[in-house]
Structure 1
Amino acid sequence: MAVYKITPTKANLIKSKNSLKFAQKGYELLDKKRTVLIREMMALIDVASELQDRIDKTFAQAYEALKLANITMGSEYVEELAQSLAKERDYQVLFKSVMGVEVPRIRIEDVPFTTEYGFFRTNPAFDKAAIQFGEIRRLIYQLAEVENSVYKLAMEIKKTQKRANALDKIQIPRYQSTIKYIDEVLQEKEREDFFRLKRVKGKTKPKKKV
Structure 2
Amino acid sequence: MSKLRLRTTPTKSSLLRLKRQLRFLHNGHALLERKRELLTRLVYERLGEFKQRRAAAQESLKQAYYWLSLAQLRMGGRSMHQASLGISPAVEISILPRRALGIQYPAVQAQLLPLQPVGLLGIDPSFDEARKCFAEATQKLAILAEAEMALCRLISEQRKAQKRVNALKYNIIPAYDQAIRRIKDLLEEEERATLFAIKRLNEHGKSL
Give the TM-score normalised by structure 2: 0.84
**1:177 counterpart residue number:** 178
**Secondary structure of the equivalent of 1:153?**
helix
Q: Is the 8 A contact 1:86 1:116 kept in 2?
A: no
- Find the counterpart in structure 1 of residue 66 from structure 2: 64
Other-structure match for 1:139? 140
For the structure 1 residues 78 and 3, does the alpha-carbon distance in structure 2 shift closer, same or farther, using more than 3 Å as the test? closer
- RMSD in angstroms over aligned alpha carbons? 2.7
8 Å contact 1:84–1:115 — kept in the other structure? no
Aligned partners of 1:191, 1:119: CA distance in 2, in Å? 104
| Aligned pairs, number | 205
Structure 1 residue 91: deviation in Å?
3.4
Query: 40, 51, 54: which is aligned to 1:52?
Result: 54
| CA distance in structure 1 between the aligned counterparts of 2:115 and 2:62, rounded to whole angstroms | 22
The aligned amino acid for 1:62 is A
With the length of structure 1 as denominator, give the TM-score of the two structures.
0.84
Select the residue among 96, 104, 110 that pairs with 2:98: 96
Shift in CA distance, 100/3, structure 1 to aligned 2, threshold 3 Å:
closer
Instruction: Report % sequence identity.
Output: 29
Query: 1:88-147 deviations in whole A, cap 9, x for unaligned?
Result: 755332222222111210134x35422142598534322221111001111111111121
Separation in structure 2 between the aligned mates of residue 128 and residue 98 of structure 1, nearest angstrom: 38
Distance 1:92 1:124 in 2: 30
1:177: Cα distance to partner? 0.2
Moved more, 10-19 or 48-57: 48-57
Report which stretch shifted further, 110-119 or 143-152.
110-119
Distance 1:190 1:9 in 2: 12
| Structure 2 residue matching 1:115: 3-state secondary structure | coil
Q: Which residue of 1 aligns with 2:158?
A: 157
Code of the aligned partner of 2:34: K
Q: Name the stretch that deviates more: 89-98 or 147-156.
A: 89-98
Q: What's the counterpart of residue 79 of structure 1?
A: 81
